[in-house]
A and B are shown apart, each in its own frame.
Chain A
Amino acid sequence: MTETPAVAAPAETARKFNIDTVENAAKTPDTELPWAELGLKQNEFDEVVKVLGRRPTGAELAMYSVMWSEHCSYKSSKNHLRQFGDKVTEEMKKDMLVGIGENAGVTNLGDGWAVTFKIESHNSPSFVEPYQGAATGIGGIVRDIISMGARPVAVMDPLRFGAIDHPDTARVMHGAVAGIGGYGNSLGLPNIGGEMVFDSVYQGNPLVNALAVGVMRHEDIRLANASGKGNKVVLFGARTGGDGIGGASVLASESFDDTKPSKRPAVQVGDPFAEKVLIECCLELFKGSLVEGIQDLGAAGISCATSELASNGDGGMEVELTSVLLRDPTLTPGEILMSESQERMMAVVTPENIAAFEAVMDKWAVEYSWLGEVTDTGRLIITWEGDVIVDVDPRTVAHDGPVYDRPYARPEWQDSVQADSFTGSVQDTGRPSAPADLAAAITELVASPNMCDKSWITKQYDRYVGGNTAMAFPDDAGVVRVDEETGLGVALATDANGRYTYLDPYHGAQLALAEAYRNVATSGAVPMAVSDCLNFGSPEDPDVMWQLAEAIRGLSDACMVLGIPVTGGNVSLYNQTGTTPIHPSPVVAVLGKFDDVARRTPSGWKEDGLAIYLLGTTAAELDGSEWSNMRGHLGGLPPKVDLEAERELGQILINASRDGMVDSAHDLSEGGLAAALVESSLRYGVGARIALQDVLDRDGVDLFTALFSETQGRAVVAVPRSEEIRFTDMCTARGFAHVRIGVVDAEGGTLEINGVETMSLDALREAHEATLPKYFG
C-alpha cells in the first residue's frame, strides 16, 4: 500500500514552463543565463560552454552550477586532498575494501565482516536553524552509510560552539543537541561519542559535524554506479520539494507565466521516521540483492545522483524528469535537479527485479517512481515530457569540475603568534604552586567550559538502542559490537584542537590524529582507518588556504607513520564571519577493531589497591593548553608530535587490554594529567592517592607543569597487583617510559595528590557537573 500523496502533482502544470530544450539552446546561443547568480565564475561558465559545444540549457546550468560548487567539487581542496590517496603504502591498503571517492570508505574487519564510516559537516544550516540543521546533518551522513550497503550502527557528533556565556550560544546548543538526538534517536542509532568545545571563534560559525558508522557482510557492499544497459533507474523515499534551492530560485526565470513562483523553503525539515523506514527498506533490498547500484541524494540531489551513477557505471542514462514525485508542483526542471530534499535514494534495478523491488516499497509504504534506464551511450540524457533538456557527458558534471590551485602563503602573523609563549606572559602571572591553590586550579580546570561534564548533552542521546553499545560517554572511545557470536567490534573516537592547529596547522592536524588514535588504542582497539572533516575559513584567503594545505599535508604524513589510511571525509570551507575565519579545525575520526569487545578498557578505575602508572614523559608544554585558554592566552607552539611514540604507546595499551593487564586506561590530552586523574576518579566515583615526585625528578618539571602540561603520547593506567610485573616488563622491553604514580583508593572518597590539598570527589563532581546546567538549564 502506497501512502497517499501529501500533495498531488497535477501533470497539467508540466507544460506551464517555458522548457529550455537542448535544441532551443543550440538555436539561441546568445540567451542571457543567470550563471553568476548560481555561483559560477566567468571561467567556469566558459568551460561549461566549451564542454557542451553550445550554451547550456537552464537545466544543464542548474546541474553544472551545483555540481561544480565548492561543496560538491572540492575545487579548492582537491589538489591537496590527493595526498590522502598518494601517501599510502601497500600495507595500509591491505584492509581497505573501498577507498576515497565512494560515498564512504569500507574497511575489512575479517570473518566476512566489513565496516564503513564517514564524518561530515552541517555547519551553516545548524547556525540558521540549529534543530533542523543538526538533525538533517545526521540524516545525510546516515544515508551515505546506507548507500554503501551497510546497516548503520552508531553515530557521533563533534560539536563546536561560540563562547559559553554568549546569549546566542544557548540557542545553537539547545537546538543542535535536540536535533541530533531527535533524529538519531528516532533512527535507532546509539550515539557513542563526540566532542564539545566552546570558543568565541565559532560564535557565528558553529561546527556541527556528524559521523555515522555501519557494518555489512562483504557480499553486501554496494557502489554508486549504474551498470547494465536497460536496467531501470528508480527514485524512492520522500517526495521532491523546493528544499535547498532557496538561493537558486533565479531559475524560476524558467517559469513561463508571469505568476511568481511559490516560495522556496529557507531551511530543510528532517523526517527521521521516513529515514528509519528507508534504512529498513534498503536493507531488505540488499538482502534480496534487488539493486545493482545505489546512491543517496544529498547535496545537489538528482543532479549528483544521476551524473555520479552514470559516470561510475556504463556511462549513460536516460531519465524523464516529469516522473519525479513532487511535494511542490511548481518546481521547474532545473529546481527539481537541484533540490536537496532529504530522505531520498536512487537505485538501479534489473527488469527482472522490478516486481520484487516494488513489493519491498509497498511493504514499507515508501513512495517510488521509475525515472528511466541505464544506457551505454556515454550520455546522461534528461527529458521533460520527451523533450531533451539535458544532454551531457556525465563525467563532465560529476568528475571534471574546475580545480583550483589557490594561492597560499604562511600568514605574516604566524611568527609573532608562535613567539608569544604562555610561559612568562602576563596571563601567566601568579601560576599556582601552594597546595590549596593547586587544588583550586584543578577544580577550576575540570569545571571549565571545555573540560566540564558533558552529560547535559549525552543524556539527550540514546546510547543503548541496538543492544551492542559496549562503551560510550564518558570513555575515550565509543565501542559497538558487530558480531554477537564472536564479540567482533569496532571503536571510534573523534578529535580536533583548533587552538593547536591555529598555532601550527601542520602539527595541529597531526595532533588531532594522534589524539583520536590514542583514544582508540586506550580503549584497547587496534586503529585501522581514518575519516576527517576539514572545517576551515575561506580558501580565497591565502592565510586560510595555507592552513588547509598544511593541515592536509600534516595529516597525510602522519597517517603514513601510523600506518592507517584515510578512507573518506568532507571539507567545509568559508566558515568565517566577515574576514575572520574560525580556528582551522580538522576533525579527525579514527576507527579501530576489537576481536572481542569484551576486552575493552574503560577510562576509570574501580577496585581498591590497583597500581596507577603514568606512561610517557612530561615536558613543559602549556602553549595552546586548556590552562592557557582559561587564562585567555593563545600563542606559542603546540605540544610536540611524536608519532613513533604514539604508536608504541598504542601497542602497549592494546596488548595490555588483550592480555588483561590493565583494569582501566585513560589517555592524557586537553587538561593534561590533572584532567585525566579527576576523570578516572569520577568515572566510577573511586579516588586515588598520587605522588608525582618520580615524574618531577625524571622529567625535570614542577608539580604544576606535571599536572597541567599537555605533552602528547601519555596515558594513565590502573594495573592489578598480580599483573604489575608483567606490565612493567612489557613497558621496559619496549623502552617506553613508565612510572608508578600511586594507588587506587576505594575508601577515601578523595583524590589525594602529594603537594596538592586533598580534594573530595563529591566536590570535584559537583564542580565538574554544574557548568553546563548553569548555562543551559
Chain B
Amino acid sequence: MTELPLIGEAVAVAAHPRLAGAKIGVVTFPGTLDDRDAARAVRLAGATPVELWHAGTTLGDVDAVVIPGGFSYGDYLRAGAIARFAPLMSKIIDAANSDAKLPVLGICNGFQILTESHLLPGSMIKNDHLKFMCRDQVLRVENNTTAWTGDYAAGQEITVPLKNQDGQYIADEKTLDALEAEGRVVFRYVGFNPNGSRRDIAGISNAPGNVVGLMPHPEHAVEAGFGPEIGSGTEGLGFFTSVLNKIVGDNK
C-alpha cells in the first residue's frame, strides 16, 4: 500500500474532555492569509476557533489568541507595521500583559506584528539572500516551558514549513544575550539558517512565556499529506495541543 498517509488517518489527538470547550481566537487583518489554516489547526487540536476581526474592540471569552501569517496591509511599509495599530491589537497587548497572561502565538507576519507591538523584542528585516523562500524547515525546540511548547520535549527537532521574505531576526547583542540567558530563545533553525537570523533564532517568547512568536508555520504541519514531506508532516500540531493542555491545566 501507498506510504502516503491518508487524510484523517494520522491525526489522533488525546482530547481532554474539556478541550473542546476551549476557545482560541484567530485574528484577521486585511491581507492576512493563513487565518483559515490556523483555525483548522485549532480545530484539529480539539478546540474551537473563534474569528477575530482586526477592527474589533473586544476579545470576547477566548482562552488564547493566534496571530496568523500573511501580508497585513501588504507589508508595504514594514512587515506588521500598520497592523500593530489595529484596535484589536491594543486589547491583545493588554491581555497578554495582564495577570491572566493570555497566551498569544504570532506566526510569521504575526511574529512581525508582535515585535512591532513591542510584545517581543527585536525585529525582522529582509532575508539575507533577499528572496522569498518556501521550504520544509527543521527547528529545535529550545524551551518547552512556554504556553505553546509544553507538549514538546526540550531539544526536540520538528519539521514545519517556512515561507517568508522578511524573516531575518535581528536584535542588538545585549538583547540577544538576555534572550539566551533567560531561555527565551524558543526555537532555533537546525542544519540551515534560511534567512540569516541572528544566532539561528527562529522564535522567541516574552519573559513569562505566554507570548511566543516564530517565523516558520506550525499551522501548515498539522495534517499528514498537506504539510512537509520530511518527518510525520504533523509536527506543528503540538503548538496547539500545548496551549490547550495549558488552558485546561490552568482551569483545574
Contacts and interface: CB of A to CB of B under 8 A. Distances in A.
B1 interface: yes
A463 interface: yes
A481 interface: yes
Contact of B227 (A458, A464, A481, A663): A464
B36 interface: yes
A153 B231 CA distance: 26
A280 B35 CA distance: 12
B163 interface: yes
Contact of A598 (B165, B217, B220, B225): B225
B36 A186 contact: no
Contact of A272 (B4, B71, B161): B71
Interface string B1-29: 11110110000000000000000000000
Per DSSP, chain B at the interface is: loop
A87 B55 CA distance: 53
Contacts of B33: 186-188, 276, 465
Given A271-B74, A273-B31, A459-B135, A466 B6 contact: no
A230 B70 CA distance: 40
A460 B162 CA distance: 11
Interface string B194-225: 00000000000000000000000101101101
B192 interface: no
B215 to A, nearest CB: 13
Nearest to A683: B229
Given A462-B163, A464-B227, A470-B225, A273 B134 contact: no
Given A185-B132, A464-B134, A469 B31 contact: no
A487 interface: yes
A720 interface: yes
Contacts of A317: none
A632 interface: no
Interface string B214-252: 000101101101110100000000000000000000000
Given A459-B133, A467-B37, A720 B1 contact: yes
Contacts of B2: 601, 660, 663
Contacts of B7: 481, 487, 596-598
A358 to B, nearest CB: 16
B148 to A, nearest CB: 19
B134 A460 contact: yes
Nearest to B40: A467
Contact of B134 (A272, A277, A463): A463
A55 interface: no
A598 B4 contact: yes
A449 interface: no
A365 interface: yes
B6 A459 contact: no
A271 B222 CA distance: 32
B56 to A, nearest CB: 11
B134 A276 contact: no
Nearest to A487: B7
Nearest to A182: B132
A178 interface: yes
A581 interface: no
Interface in A161-208: 178, 181-182, 185-188
A593 interface: no
B226 A468 contact: yes
A420 interface: no
Contact of A467 (B6, B31, B220): B220
Contact of B30 (A181, A364, A663): A364
A186 B226 contact: no
A682 B133 CA distance: 21
A660 B134 CA distance: 31
B34 interface: yes
A276 to B, nearest CB: 6
A600 interface: yes
A272 B74 contact: yes
Contacts of B6: 598
A462 B134 contact: yes
A365 B71 contact: no
Contacts of B165: 185
B226 A470 contact: yes
Nearest to A722: B1
Interface in A460-480: 460-470
Of B37, B134, B219, the most chain A CB neighbours within 10 A belong to B134
A606 interface: yes
A602 interface: yes
Contacts of B34: 188, 465
A607 interface: yes
Nearest to A366: B30
Contacts of A364: 30
Contact of A663 (B3, B36, B70, B71): B3
Given A186-B31, A273-B71, A465-B37, A606 B217 contact: no
A487 B227 CA distance: 15
Interface string B44-79: 000000000001000000000000001101111000
A277 B133 contact: no
A706 to B, nearest CB: 28
B73 A273 contact: yes
A475 B133 CA distance: 19
A600 B7 CA distance: 11
Nearest to B6: A598
Report the 6 A-B pairs with minimum CB-CB distance, sorted nearest first: A273-B74, A188-B33, A467-B37, A598-B6, A464-B220, A598-B7
25 contacts: A181-B132, A186-B31, A188-B33, A271-B74, A276-B30, A458-B134, A460-B134, A461-B132, A461-B134, A462-B132, A462-B163, A464-B134, A464-B217, A464-B227, A465-B37, A466-B36, A466-B37, A467-B223, A468-B226, A470-B226, A601-B2, A602-B4, A663-B2, A663-B3, A684-B229
Interface of A: 178, 181-182, 185-188, 271-274, 276-277, 280, 363-365, 458-470, 481, 484, 487, 596-598, 600-602, 606-607, 660, 663, 684, 720
Given A469-B226, A606-B3, 8 more contacts: A185-B71, A188-B33, A271-B74, A273-B73, A276-B31, A463-B134, A464-B161, A467-B220
